[in-house]
Structures are given as C-alpha cells and as structure tokens.
Structure 1
C-alpha cells in the first residue's frame, strides 16, 4: 500500500508539467520518436479538440508499457442507479427540495457500485450540462478500473479519504479537498481510512478552469500555485483485470491482461489534480451589503454564452463577516441559475437546522429560497460585530440549465418532504408606517 504521506505532487493549475518514474523516460526534443526510451509506447491523450486555442488546449503525451488499445472488447453491464442527462424518467417539479445524507452501504461496495445519480441537466452526448452523483463505498476497487467518456469528474469528499490511483500518478484526497479527473483518464479508488462518502459533479461541458478575477487583480480566490498534480508512478502487473467505461450514459466492461496504470512518464496539460479548499483566499465586503456568491467560485466551466456557466463550483468556507447595518445571511432570492448545495462539515448559516453534513438541497431556476424563518428573526435582530464563521464548509454546483432530479432522488426516504415548513414561520411585519 502506498503511504500517502510520502506522495509528492507537482503544483500549478493548467501548466504543462513533465514527470517521469524512471530517469530518462521522457524523450528529449520531440514527443513521438521512432523508438522511445525503455522501449515504451508513446500515446497522446487529448481532452480538448486538437485545434483548441493554445491557452485552453488540454493534451498530454504518455509513455507507457502498452498502448491503451491492448485490451478486450467491451460488453454492457448493469449501471445500477447511475443516470445520465437528459433525465426522462421523472417530471422535474419547481419545488425547493432537500435530502438527508445517504447511508453508506452495509454490504461490500466499491466506488462504481456505490454511485447514485441525484440529478442532471443538459445532454451528455451534446457535451452540455452536468450530472450530480453521490458516491459511497466501503471497499477498494482492487483490480477493477474505471474511466468516464461522458464527462470530467469533480470529487467533493465529505467522509473518509480517497487514494486515487490514476494513469498519471497517485493522489491522496481527504474531506476539505477536491479531486478533478479529466474525461477519459483511467483510475481506481482505494480507501486508506475506511468507508467514504461524497459528492461528484460530472461535467459534460468544457473542462473546468479558474474564473477570471476582474477588478480583483492578480491575486485572490483560488491561486494557480495551490493546485497539485501527481508525479509519475506506474505498475507492471499482469493477470486478470477489468476496465469499466461510462459511455453514452451506460456502463461497459472490458477484460485486460495487465494493469492499465503503466505510464512511466508524461508531459502535458491534461491530468488529474487536487486542491485544498482551505487555501481559497476569501474576498468579502468590509463595508455593507452581501456580495453575490460568485465571489466564492473556485472553478468554472463556461457555456457558449459569455459569463454564463455550464457549472460553477462555489464554496462557503470559514471566513470573517464584518458587514455593517446588513442582513448577513444570504438574502431571499429567485435566480435564473439553478443551485445544488451540499454540506461537508459544520452548519450552513442560512439553514441552521435540517441541513446536515452529507445532505443536499436543490433550488432550481426561479424557485424562491433563502434563510429559514428562525434564521431571519435571529439575523434581523442581532447586535452586529465582527464575527468568525468557523465551523462551516458548504458548496454549490450552480448551472445555467435546470437541474432535474432522478426518480431515485424524488422517491428516496432520504428526501425531506417537509422542507418547505422551515419557511412556515415567516411573518408579515408591515404596518403602513416607515418607522
């Protein structure tokens, strides 16, 4: 077993990295020589079109023991509760919805078998929109490997650490960190500390990237240097292995006679990476009013409309609140964007009851929402002073497309059918007098 404390990572978002597990494994001066060092095979991995602009082009040259096509044919397998957009199995209601945390299975369950799709939007085949899943597992994948041809995967761990063995190397990811695995990268998930649970955004659209800072300038939000990529690591193992692919919404499995994690060196811009959310540089008001939550955007995937996201990944981390003469929790609002929230730890300031770590909520396009009644009373009458929001870490997947829940999400016992009652205590205070 790999000791995660000994893992070394390359840093810097979107940079071209180069790393080799054996000295001299990377060719010098060209990518595809007639014969590669160590008699390796050269294979290019592209997660954007060949002709994408240089600043957004994602491709990596890998030097491996065998090319990826050294495998058997795929055959369909049961996809369980995994679903892919468009969701057609249920009618999407405009209700505000919330769910308790989904239980970790009691029977032995690996990462693939424990995936449950909660919602999705857009169309995976048209490469627009997202899928939203909960992963739960109590055993590692062993000699089973996975890749997703439908989208890029953004992991948000909530319970337990992940050890992600990928083609480009190994990443140890714990709650409070995130992991992104590009579309098509092969990997397996092992559990170094026991059972795990968390959230996944499956991004069908353009790869995630850092948002522009605008007038904020050169520093702040998520800084490039804090993103970590794996160093090359490989295994030379032969035997009976299985490769599972998610393709056009279905699962397929192919036999392999060797481990697919056989990349001895790689150079490029498309690779898995992780980020510690505690390094996010929060920027907030120091005068009055509550800025738009876009100031908390860590990563974004833009749609074909400038400034409108296919998905924004937004966090609400520990921070100081100092706004004067201001209702400090999120205001009541209706939004053209659709919002899916999860709670990693602590308490979310707008929902002090009923929104537990591992839980979820969905407020779709133009569905009204905001602080529960008790939070409104408390915040409206509080004596304002600088306050540290310490015990909290929530996040939001926000999208321009309506987020449609699956049949499972609508019918599961984890759904809080009384969620609307948290606003039932809202009162009318109007008395006709300004004072």
Structure 2
C-alpha cells in the first residue's frame, strides 16, 4: 500500500481536500459547492450541545449518502446484541471471575472465509443502544477482506484494538493503517471497510477486541495535578487525509441498527468524499507513544493512571468505559506490593492481552485471550505472583518488556453472552484455581509480646 498521510491532534478541527479548492471559501453549505460536489453534514452530538462538546463534520462528496436502494435485513446476522437484560435468551449472567483462552470463531475455517463484519461476536455488555445507555465488548476474527462492502454502526462508537495482523481501514475521510499496538476509533454513523493482509489465514486470522459505547464519545482524560504533560498526548492522535473514489461499482452497505443488521445496495463508492471539514473524524493512536506515569516513592497507584481514553458518564469521574493500558514501565516504589492488590471494585474490568506476558499473572492470560472481573467480584494476583512479589527485593526494575495488555473498565455490570460462556469453547473452567493456593500466613503475637 502507498504511504499514508495523517492529520495530527486529538479533538481539533480538521480540514482536508484531495483536490485543491474543494472546500467552500464562505460557509459550510453554499448554494453550490465547488466542483459540483454535494455538501453533507454528519453530526456526533445534538446541534445544541455545548461548544466544547459539539462534534460534527462537513463532507463534500460526489454523490450524497441518501442516494441508495431501500434497506432490507442483512442475510447474515452476526452474534451482536443491542440489549443485555438478564432475561434475554442470549445472555448467561454470572458474577464468577472469568478468563478465556485466545478467542476465535469457527467461521474462519469456512472455505470462503469470513470478513470483519461477519466475524463480529459479542462477549458481554450492559444497557441497550436504543436509549443510548451502556456499552458492549466484542471480538473480531477474520481472514477475508471486505471488498466492496462497507459498514456503519448506528448504535455507538467503536474502539478497535488489533491483536494479530494489521487492519487496512478505508473510511469516508481517508485511509487508516492500524497494526497491533495501535488502536483506532470509528464513531457512530461513519462508513468504513476493513481490508486484510494476504497472510491472514484460517490458522492465523486477523483478530482483536472492540469496545462499543452507546452513549457519548471517547475523549482524553483530564490530567488534574499531573499538569500539562503526560499520559496520551493530543498531538499523537492521527486522523486521515481526504482520499476519494469516483467509481460506478455496485456496493453493499451494511448498517447495525438496534443490534440488528441491515443492508442496501448503491451504484457508487461510499468513499467519494473529496474534502471534509470538522471535528467528528475517525482516528488512530500508537500505544507505544503513551507517556506512563507512576509512583516514585511508595504505594500502588490506581490503574486509572494508565487511562488512554475515557467515555464519561453523567457522574463526574465515572466512565461508561475507560480504556487503560499496561505498557512496559519501570517500578521503583519502596515498601510496596507492586502488582495489583487484592480488591473488590465498584467497576467491571474486562482485560485483553495484545502481546507478551502480563506482569500481574504467572500464566494462563495469553495473547488474544481475555478476562472479566465483574462488579464486586474479588480478584487480584494469583498465588505464584503474590508469593514472589511479597518476598522480592525491591530494586528498581522494568516490567512488561515486550508486552502490552489493556483494560476496558466500566461503571456498568457486564452481562456475558451465551456464546462467551457456553458456546465458544474458550472459557477456562479452572480459572478460580489461580487463587486456591493462597495460604494462611497470619501469626498473632504471643501473650508475652502483647
């Protein structure tokens, strides 16, 4: 593929034109747009949202999006849900601590393979898209490019975390290459297609994780007393530059709406945007550019210190989803138990492993795998990690070299799907044994010592 160019800067106003002079000089919707283009606005917030929250972009395209045939049900309904009520037949709710082996689906073994859209499979979630409340966590496991198929999601924003193979993502705004150790965000309503490298096969498919938020959008967390610098820097977020297709091929457009999939046909490319202007734009981020903050004296900081992006709820400091990473980093704190401490959280924690060995688990948490510690379910380091960390000399050392794990942390109770619990074949039935070896070390002082 040709080298791609990017706009830089998270949350700023972006302008890009593939043909000079395609952006109107005055106003966003002139009587006649330059070069015979159509002006079309796509909004990510209500028109009257506060200025600092308002998101929308103007697209100047060859044909407007409304020019298509009628919707009809999509022939294949992926295992994606809109509602996570406990009484749903597709849900198996459990407070049990859960961990999965590397996640995959059998669809990649079909002779024709499976593309990104058809491979989408839901693990867990909360709320429902109809009321714009909650989130869902999915996986994808694909070995076929989408070709002339495009997808857009009316239910929420998608944060995509590749674990294996690069995704070549074509959007209405241009192209994004998203290899492992990068993420991309494609917001509600934006059309995109995923093409895969030639070496994506049934034995080694393109695989990764997706967090879909029904309400709000991902944004950078406030830095508070950290100050002006640290964590993810705005300048490191990259948006595409305009790159249009002027073709008359038949395209299949797939839409996710209230958890169901629909499609329509059109006789032109959905990627015919010659220029755009606005701040509602897909983007990518390189996780290795994250500036990790930690303790340099004592005590174990909360994992919120590793937040890359947050989708806030209506309660200050509480998130629909925090996207947290655990990158390679130095540990130097004194008189401190350095791995995550034992805890019962009022948030739900879904973790995935992109590569390497997560430093807080001795074994069993593999690249491509996942774990879920739901609200108030106790968890912490396994026996081996606890014993080692409790007795290790506390010298400065670097943990996580060659590794990268992440967490989707949410204020919602996450209901697991029947596929995740009973049908995937990937759930580790003996995960609870990770803590069964923890011994009693209590030694009360003798009466003479009291």
Shorter-chain TM-score range? over 0.9
Structure 2 CA distance, aligned partners of 1:423 and 1:204? 35
Structure 2 CA distance, aligned partners of 1:310 and 1:257? 39
Structure 2 CA distance, aligned partners of 1:233 and 1:433? 73
What residue is the counterpart of 2:416 in the other structure? Answer: 405
Give the counterpart of 2:186 among 181, 190, 194. Answer: 181
Give the counterpart of 1:264 among 264, 274, 299. Answer: 274
- Per-residue deviation, 1:205: 1.0
Structure 1 CA distance, aligned partners of 2:412 and 2:198? 37
Structure 2 CA distance, aligned partners of 1:160 and 1:270? 27
Structure 1 CA distance, aligned partners of 2:45 and 2:104? 37
Structure 2 CA distance, aligned partners of 1:80 and 1:210? 31
Structure 2 CA distance, aligned partners of 1:431 and 1:424? 20
1:419 aligns with 2:416: no
Structure 1 CA distance, aligned partners of 2:166 and 2:362? 26
Gaps of 5+ in 2: 201-205
1:368 aligns with 2:369: no
* SS in structure 1 of the partner of residue 133 of structure 2: coil
1:164 aligns with 2:175: no
What residue is the counterpart of 2:34 in the other structure? Answer: 37
What residue is the counterpart of 1:131 in the other structure? Answer: 136
* SS in structure 2 of the partner of residue 125 of structure 1: coil
TM-score, structure 1 length as denominator? 0.98
Contact kept, 8 Å, 1:161 with 1:193, in 2: the verdict is: no
Structure 2 CA distance, aligned partners of 1:382 and 1:251? 53
Contact kept, 8 Å, 2:92 with 2:421, in 1: the verdict is: no
What residue is the counterpart of 1:358 in the other structure? Answer: 368
| Structure 1 segments of 4+ aligned residues over 4 angstroms from their partners | none
Structure 1 CA distance, aligned partners of 2:128 and 2:81? 12
Gaps of 5+ in 1: none
* SS in structure 2 of the partner of residue 295 of structure 1: helix
1:344 aligns with 2:354: yes
1:96 aligns with 2:97: yes
TM-score, structure 2 length as denominator? 0.94
Give the counterpart of 2:440 among 399, 415, 428. Answer: 428
1:66 aligns with 2:76: no
- Per-residue deviation, 1:193: 5.1
* SS in structure 2 of the partner of residue 378 of structure 1: helix
- Per-residue deviation, 1:192: 2.8
Structure 2 CA distance, aligned partners of 1:70 and 1:93? 46
1:153 aligns with 2:158: yes
Structure 1 CA distance, aligned partners of 2:372 and 2:175? 33
Contact kept, 8 Å, 1:86 with 1:124, in 2: the verdict is: no
What residue is the counterpart of 2:199 in the other structure? Answer: 194
- Per-residue deviation, 1:311: 0.7
Q: CA RMSD in A?
A: 1.1
Contact kept, 8 Å, 1:85 with 1:131, in 2: the verdict is: no
Contact kept, 8 Å, 1:176 with 1:277, in 2: the verdict is: yes
Structure 1 CA distance, aligned partners of 2:288 and 2:139? 22
What residue is the counterpart of 2:203 in the other structure? Answer: none
Q: Which moved more, 1:81-90 or 1:207-216?
A: 81-90
